[in-house]
Amino acid sequence: MSLVYVAGQLVDKSEAKVSVYDHGLLYGDGVFEGIRVYVGKVFLLEEHVDRLYESARAIRLEIPMSPAAMAQAVRETVAANKLTDGYVRLVVTRGAGTLGLDPRKTADPQVIIIADTIALYPPEMYADGLRLITASTIRNHPQALSARIKSLNYLNNILAKIEGSDAGCVEAVMMNHLGHVAECTGDNIFLVKNRVLSTPSTDSGILEGITRNCVIQLARQAGYEVRETTLVRHDIYVADECFLTGTAAEVIPATSLDGRLIGTGKPGPVTRDLLERFRKLTRGG
Ligand code: PMP
């Protein structure tokens, strides 16, 4: 049995419903988070709750409960599902309203918490790396919708993901409106060159990934230099190593872009070291 938190209650997933008039559904008007549970503990819960409230604030959505109550509701949903390792999807919608965009004509923002499992990529990709293509669909223009808002509007990322699938790739690199590297459709991107790490800065039009920030910290603690900077596609082509980070993806090597091998075409030593450190941090041992 799987219990979902909706309208302030835990109900069986078959009973977990929102209105077809919810502006989250009608217009993608809402925000969300994806959070991991490792060995019975919700990983970086406070960071995720903070980002959720920042996203909501940015779209002028008032979440009808405090951050502390939200964190507690997440922990209770995880506990009710006896989930020790899994994935939480936390969604806040604008709520049901009249037809028409006006958010003032909505009532009751809906908080939905799903605690389940996720397997984004097959295990062999963590060992061998995944292939990437460059998507022609760009990341959101920052003057249209800040990529730092984790909103229910993922259509341009989905279009880029389809471009990836069409090319037989599970991920695709998205550029920003200036042609700089932004991120992948659901993951942040890191390069390694001469053992120095670099990743697009937040002003490159990216979601400021919580896994990204965690890996930056892990890498610095391990003595690596990490630069948050502007990157172009050329930097990926000439990198020694490349890897992606995300809550669902964790840390995963990427070994080619647009059919060109990155470095040796195999997961490199720095990537493997950080993957190992991330696993230790999350799973212990
Ligand atoms: N970029 C995008 C576009 C994402 O959707 C995500 C989350 N899936 C990430 C990066 C990674 O962010 P986080 O590490 O916080 O999950």
Query: What atom of ligand 1 comes closest to residue 247's alpha carbon?
Result: 16
Give the per-residue pLDDT at 155: 96
Q: What distances in angstroms separate CA 35 from CA 13, 90, 254, 266, 267, one per listed residue?
A: 19, 8, 22, 29, 26
**pLDDT for residue 284 is more than 90:** no
Structural domains of the chain, ranges and CATH numbers in brackets: 3-116 (3.30.470.10), 123-283 (3.20.10.10)
Q: Residues near ligand 1 with C-beta < 6 Å?
A: 34, 157, 183, 186-188, 207, 209-212, 245-248
Question: Could you give the percent of the chain with pLDDT greater than 70?
Answer: 100
Q: Which amino acid is residue 262, in one-letter code?
A: I
Which residue CA neighbors atom 4 of ligand 1 most closely?
Answer: 186
- How far apart are the CA of 98 and the centre of ligand 1, in A? 31
- How far apart are the CA of 187 and the centre of ligand 1, in A? 5
Query: What atom of ligand 1 comes closest to residue 51's alpha carbon?
Result: 15
- How far apart are the CA of 48 and the centre of ligand 1, in A? 11
pLDDT bracket for residue 252 (50, 70, 90): very high
Please write the tens of the pLDDT for every residue from 183-217.
999 999 999 999 999 999 999 999 999 999 999 99
Query: What atom of ligand 1 comes closest to residue 211's alpha carbon?
Result: 14
Query: DSSP for the chain?
Result: --EEEETTEEEEGGG----TTBHHHHH--EEEEEEEEETTEETTHHHHHHHHHHHHHHTT---SS-HHHHHHHHHHHHHHTT-SSEEEEEEEE--BB-SSS-GGGB---EEEEEEE----S-HHHHHH-EEEEE-SSPPPPTTTS-TTS-BS--HHHHHHHHHHHHTT-SEEEEE-TTS-EEEESSSEEEEEETTEEEEE-GGGT----HHHHHHHHHHHHTT--EEEE---HHHHHT-SEEEEEETTTEEEEEEEETTEESTTSS--HHHHHHHHHHHHHHH--
Question: Could you give the percent of the chain with pLDDT greater than 90?
Answer: 98
Q: Considering the entire predicted model, what is its pTM?
A: 0.97
Read off the pLDDT of each residue in 118-141 and give the average, rounded to a whole number. 96
With the most atoms of ligand 1 within 8 angstroms of its CB, the residue from 187, 210, 250 to mutate is 187
With the most atoms of ligand 1 within 8 angstroms of its CB, the residue from 52, 91, 140, 188 to mutate is 188
With the most atoms of ligand 1 within 8 angstroms of its CB, the residue from 45, 207, 212 to mutate is 207
| CA 239/CA 95 separation, integer angstroms | 45
Q: What's the chain's average pLDDT?
A: 97
Catalytic residue among 13, 150, 161, 266: 150
Query: What atom of ligand 1 comes closest to residue 157's alpha carbon?
Result: 3
Query: What atom of ligand 1 comes closest to residue 147's alpha carbon?
Result: 3
Please write the tens of the pLDDT for every residue from 221-251.
999 999 999 999 999 999 999 999 999 999 9
- How far apart are the CA of 246 and the centre of ligand 1, in A? 5
41 is catalytic: no
